Amino acid sequence: ANSFEQFCINYCNEKLQQLFIELVLKQEQEEYQREGIEWQNIEYFNNQIICELVEAPHKGVIATLDEACLNVGKVTDELLLEALDKKLVTHQHYSSRQTKPMDKMLQHKTQFRIRHYAGDVIYNINGFLDKNRDTLFQDFKRLLYNSTNPVIKGMWPEGSMDITKTTKRPQTAGTLFKNSMIALVKTLASKEPFYVRCIKPNEDKSPHTMNEERVIHQVRYLGLLENVRVRRAGFAYRQRYDRFLKRYKMISEFTWPNFKSGSDRDGTAVLIQEKGFSGDVKYGHTKIFIRSPTTLFKLEKMRDDIIPNIVVLLQKQWRGALCRRRYQKLKAGLTILRYYRKYKMRSYISQLDRIFRNAKNLRDYGKSLRWPPPPLAMRRHVGKLRTIYERWRAAMVLSVRPRAEWPMFRMQINAASALKGRRSNFGLDRKWQGNYLSLAAENPDCQHFNASMRQLKNSDRFDQVLFSSFVVKTNRFNKPADRVLVVTDLAIYKLDVHKFKPMRRGMPIQDVVGLSLSPGRDQLVVIHSNKGNDLVVTLKTSEERVGELVGVLCTRYLFLRKAELTVKVASQFQCMLGHKSRSVRVEVSPDTQLAGFRKDNNNGIVYMLPSSYAVARPQPIKG
């Protein structure tokens, strides 16, 4: 709750606000009187009544507080509050629970309210008496002042007072603070202060938000509205005649470049009359006064409109004088060079037009066509031409596909780029749906799966599931197990096939170092990790989905690492299981009915396939 310290701070604010209002009005009145301009009085809230509530003798809060501190006997804060209630019961800016029994916001015998200019403030009377007393008597201050240490002596200038005053009771903290404020206000009133009003936009210290109600409240209690009304009732702009004429003389033909038909005041009057602003200005002894900001804005706009013309005129004359001779010498050569460059550009553009005229009807839209070497005048522009062509070609390729399929198309391109023709079929003949286990046709328990994915998404903070499938995985002990493989935009998860819960933490896609798969139609894929424990799985599906998985991982890896993911296609390759190197070999056997893993004699892993999976190995595409 607000106590004696906040009471002193608020009293200080009241005195400074009163000084602000008085000085603003005083300065305005003095300047208008000095210049012979009539002044229109403005009604405003004068907080002198609040200052008197605090500092008035006998009845003020500080006087009552001092009286209680000087009384003999046991005087409590509660008795002090009763004394304030008796003296200020009729004051419109003071209230307590005793003076207003229906005010439930105030507590009995402990709180009172003062209506400051900035708003109502509730104070707790407890501690006011103790904080107001100054128990440090004058004789002790005199003792410290007589110290041989200059620092201590400088801290107690009051000790220099006459010794007869050391027997008097020291002034209270409230009286000392009141006297200090009166002295400060007297000093400030003799100066010409410059005010900077700071508006706090919000309580969060944020540069991007503004609490309108908070700002309006500050503008209101700082007296800015009254200040604006004072300015608007008078004249918003005033300036000496010489400075005014110097700034705006270019907007009138009678004052530009110099006014020679009279004084600066006469020149100012001629300019104002020509522009039709006579009804909005007053002429003082040394200054011109403009009432409406609109008039000033119009003058500034006229000046801004004509300044560029003046600048151009000066530049033209100056540069012309310096460059005319040089220009005559260079004119012929520059003309020849300009026409020659245009000729070379037109020739090169015409050559490109002949080469790419039929590009729209070609299968590759002219990708295989060779660009002719550009001339010197076109070398810095040929890159822009190539960019235009590549964008046109991309638009032609994409125009045959719906826009909703563009993400799938991007993954297919990345998959084809990674496989480089080493796998004859990777699912380009079907639509890639990615999250297959969220579909009822693929997963009868899709609702349970989707709920589990929502929980995982909330815990691991990823955006979406890009790929999901039932798989059979093998471990370092060559034991196959049914699992669920899930690829999100950030990680790869291995889930329990029944509860769809993660078996362990996901493998970040950024930790993937490569992929390995066979050139056949099987669905075996090895995801290599930099942690020394790779993921060896085969997708349980009758469709070709390995290519889709490769496209998803390559696309996300490129996005996260800004690099291409290494993809190895072979019938035999190495992997790491339990931080040990193991070989994986794909074999086709007529004796095998179902595809599956078995242990090799050399501690390797063999993925056996039935004869129906036997295919001819495709030749890699060169170039």
Residues 345 and 444 grouped into a single domain: no
Q: Which residue has the higher pLDDT, 221 or 313?
A: 313
Considering the domain boundaries, does residue 319 fall inside one? yes
β-sheet bridge partners, residue 529: 512
Q: What is the DSSP letter of 2?
A: B
Ranking 203-217, 304-318, 396-410, 608-622 by mean pLDDT, the lowest is: 608-622
Q: Kindly report the three-state secondary structure assignment for every residue of 12-37.
A: HHHHHHHHHHHHHHHHHHHHHHHHCC
Q: Which of 324, 357, 390 is the last residue of a domain?
A: 357
> Which residue bears the tokens 């300009």?
338
Residues 110 and 248 grouped into a single domain: no
515 pLDDT higher than 90: yes
Q: Residue 540: how many CA atoms within 13 Å on its side-chain side?
A: 16
Task: Give percent of the chain above pLDDT 70.
Answer: 92
Considering the domain boundaries, does residue 469 fall inside one? yes
Instruction: Please give the backbone phi and psi of residue 53, each rounded to the nearest 5 degrees, phi first.
Output: -55, -35
168 pLDDT higher than 80: no
Residues 568 and 484 grouped into a single domain: yes
Residue 453: predicted pLDDT: 92
Residues 262 and 338 grouped into a single domain: yes
Neighbouring CB atoms inside 10 A of 338's CB total 10
β-sheet bridge partners, residue 515: 527, 567
Quote the longest CA-to-CA distance of the chain.
124
C-alpha 518/C-alpha 516 separation (Å) is: 7
Q: Which of 299, 329, 357 is the last residue of a domain?
A: 357
Residue 222: predicted pLDDT: 74
513 pLDDT higher than 90: yes
525 pLDDT higher than 80: yes
- Please report which confidence band the pLDDT of residue 615 belongs to, taking 50, 70 and 90 as the band edges: low
Residue 377: predicted pLDDT: 84
Q: What is the CATH number of the domain that holds 241?
A: 3.30.70.1590
Tell me the CA distances in angstroms from 201 to 13, 219, 415, one per residue in order: 20, 11, 53
Q: Which of 298, 323, 357 is the last residue of a domain?
A: 357
371 pLDDT higher than 60: yes
At 106-148, the pLDDT tens digits run: 888 898 999 887 778 899 989 888 888 866 666 777 788 888 8
Instruction: Summarize the confidence of residues 76-102 as an average pLDDT.
Output: 88
Residues 272 and 176 grouped into a single domain: no
At 438-479, the pLDDT tens digits run: 999 889 999 999 999 999 999 988 999 999 999 999 888 888
Considering the domain boundaries, does residue 570 fall inside one? yes
Residues 413 and 325 grouped into a single domain: no
Q: Which residue has the higher pLDDT, 165 or 194?
A: 194
260-274, 435-449, 593-607: which is most confident? 435-449
Helix (H, G, I), strand (E, B) or coil at 519: coil
Q: What is the DSSP letter of 114?
A: E
618 pLDDT higher than 50: no
Considering the domain boundaries, does residue 587 fall inside one? no
Task: Give percent of the chain above pLDDT 90.
Answer: 21
Q: Which residue has the higher pLDDT, 525 or 595?
A: 525
Considering the domain boundaries, does residue 154 fall inside one? no
Residue 42: predicted pLDDT: 59
pTM above 0.75, yes or no: no
Instruction: Summarize the confidence of residues 536-552 as an average pLDDT.
Output: 90
Residue 164: predicted pLDDT: 64
Considering the domain boundaries, does residue 372 fall inside one? no
- Please report which confidence band the pLDDT of residue 45 belongs to, taking 50, 70 and 90 as the band edges: low
Residues 597 and 587 sit within 8 Å (Cβ to Cβ): no
Identify whether 257 is preceded by a cis peptide bond (ω within 30 of 0): yes
C-alpha 441/C-alpha 70 separation (Å) is: 93
Q: Which residue has the higher pLDDT, 212 or 226?
A: 212
Ranking 230-244, 479-493, 540-554, 555-569 by mean pLDDT, the lowest is: 230-244
Q: What is the CATH number of the domain that holds 44?
A: 1.20.58.530
Residues 555 and 562 sit within 8 Å (Cβ to Cβ): no
622 pLDDT higher than 70: no
C-alpha 189/C-alpha 16 separation (Å) is: 10
β-sheet bridge partners, residue 384: none
What range defines the domain where residue 27 resides? 4-135+170-190
Nearest to 520 by CA among 576, 569, 472, 477: 569
Q: Which residue has the higher pLDDT, 405 or 165?
A: 405
Residues 458 and 452 sit within 8 Å (Cβ to Cβ): no
Residues 417 and 273 grouped into a single domain: no
Residues 186 and 247 grouped into a single domain: no
Instruction: Summarize the confidence of residues 40-46 as an average pLDDT.
Output: 64
Residue 621: predicted pLDDT: 43
C-alpha 261/C-alpha 254 separation (Å) is: 9
33-37, 231-235, 319-323: which is most confident? 319-323
Residues 10 and 79 grouped into a single domain: yes
Average pLDDT, the chain: 85
CB neighbours of 300 closer than 8 A, spacing ≥ 6?
none
Considering the domain boundaries, does residue 153 fall inside one? no
Residues 428 and 563 grouped into a single domain: yes
Residues 184 and 72 grouped into a single domain: yes
Cα 474 to chain centroid distance, Å, stands at 50
165 pLDDT higher than 70: no
Specify the number of domains making up the chain. 3
At 174-215, the pLDDT tens digits run: 888 898 888 988 888 887 777 787 888 988 888 889 999 888
Considering the domain boundaries, does residue 390 fall inside one? no
Residues 258 and 341 grouped into a single domain: yes
Residue 169: predicted pLDDT: 67
Neighbouring CB atoms inside 10 A of 614's CB total 12
